[in-house]
Amino acid sequence: MSKKTTLKLVYAAVCLALAMVFPFLTGQIPQLGNALCPMHIPVLLCGFLCGWPYGLLVGFIAPILRFFVFGMPPLMPTGIAMAFELAAYGCISGLLYRKLPKTHFNIYVSLVTAMLAGRVIWGIVRLVLAGIQADTFPLSAFIAGTVTNAIPGIILHIILIPVIVMALKKTGLVLND
């Protein structure tokens, strides 16, 4: 195994650990805890740092593992839908960051595209799960789940993640090339 592969595995493990811990930190903020979408941050970073395969795996595993370790998020339908959403975040951020020219602007393009695609995938999975459970998933629930309730997290991610990626890129810690 190459040194680069080993480093990617270590980074992915750190991102997975952060996805387990961050919800405890933001959970202390009463009205904002879940709205900050704390598990999304390390998954998006994993895609940027390690590449799409690692981002996809960390994103898919994180909510399911967190359910089995801590009992949150509830597995059905939240955890399953989040697994697909976060997998899309990690995959798309890593894939676009690798394929696009390495400019500051393209970090934002990769991030926003991943966030939009992940939210659409979340909605599709929630709709499918609602059908399986003989439940309903109205458009208002989709809009609330993807936009309205997530505005603080969206703002946080757009501010924080590019700054972290740019800083890590300067130090040579980004391995997704």
Residues 51 and 75: beta-carbon distance below 8 Å = no
What are the structure tokens assigned to 65, written together? 């593992």
| Percent of the chain scoring above 90 in pLDDT | 76
- The confidence score (pLDDT) of residue 132 equals 87
Of 162, 157, 155, which is closest to residue 103 (Cα–Cα)? 162
Q: Does 23 have pLDDT greater than 90?
A: yes
38: preceding bond cis by omega (within 30 degrees): no
pLDDT in tens, 92-128: 999 999 999 999 999 999 999 999 999 999 999 999 9
Residues 6+ apart with CB under 8 A from 46: 11, 12, 15, 16, 54, 55, 58, 59, 90, 94
Query: Binning pLDDT at 50, 70 and 90, where does residue 140 land?
Result: confident
Residues 6+ apart with CB under 8 A from 42: 14, 15, 16, 18, 19, 22, 58, 62
Q: Does 173 have pLDDT greater than 70?
A: yes
Amino acid at 115: M
- The confidence score (pLDDT) of residue 149 equals 84
Q: Does 29 have pLDDT greater than 90?
A: no
Class of the 3-171 domain? mainly alpha
- The confidence score (pLDDT) of residue 176 equals 87
Rounded to an integer, the average pLDDT of 125-154 is 86
pLDDT in tens, 145-158: 788 888 999 999 99
Q: How far apart are CA 56 and CA 95, in angstroms?
A: 10
